[in-house]
Amino acid sequence: MTRPSGAGDARDPWRAVVTVAQIPDTGLHCDIEADPAARAAMAEAAGLREMPAVHASFDLALTGGGRVHVTGRVQARIGQTCVVTLDPIDSAIDEPVDLMFVPVEQLAQFSRPADDGSDGAAEAAESPEPIENGIIDLGRLATDVLYLAIDPYPRKAGAAFEPQVEAADPEDHPFAALKALRSDADAPAAEKADGRPDGKSEGKSKRT
């Protein structure tokens, strides 16, 4: 009924498949755990240092019309690197799951016009997942939930960015260049005030 959890392909590193037709009327409980190969593949895909443990628990209930209500939790321990100090840090993930799976041909019944004035966030939360080829892949579901829960900018407790403040250079301001130009322009006037014409050396004229 449930294929053992383990490594899949590059797109789906963790797979645990349930056949919908074999779910009892009383429902089905599934506990799955990713093996080392699946964890290594997921850690690489998520840009993590490591992923020591990942497991999930799900309850599947038939709701009629081939639909399946899936609830549960995804829990994991992951190793990341602080974006401020670059120190290794460990994080825990514990995410609830509450989703409806429907046959792919029924998805159109749940679509809504984009301009119907409904709340986009609420609509996204209520959108069902497709049942493809009569199966639900709990490993893929757990992987998606895990990826969305990972903090892309992890920080060590108490770590904060401290901007570098440099002393201002008194010559490095918008009027520095203007000051230099004015100094050059005033030089000939200063020479004339001293009795030295432009382009002529200092000396006494001879009397005839």
Domain ranges, residue 65: 6-149
**Predicted pLDDT at 33:** 97
Residues in a beta bridge with 88: 81
Point out the residues of the chain with pLDDT beneath 70.
1-10, 111-126, 158-208
pTM of the predicted model, to two decimals?
Answer: 0.68
How many structural domains is the chain composed of?
1
Is 192 part of any domain? no
**Predicted pLDDT at 53:** 97
Is 117 part of any domain? yes
Is 55 part of any domain? yes
**Predicted pLDDT at 155:** 84
Is 165 part of any domain? no
The amino acid present at 131, given as its one-letter code, is I
- Taking only the tens place, the pLDDT of each residue in 150-194 is 999 988 876 565 555 555 555 555 555 556 655 655 555 555 555
Is 79 part of any domain? yes
Is 103 part of any domain? yes
Is 119 part of any domain? yes
**Predicted pLDDT at 23:** 97
Is 66 part of any domain? yes
Using CA atoms, how far apart are residues 126 and 156, in angstroms rounded to an integer? 35
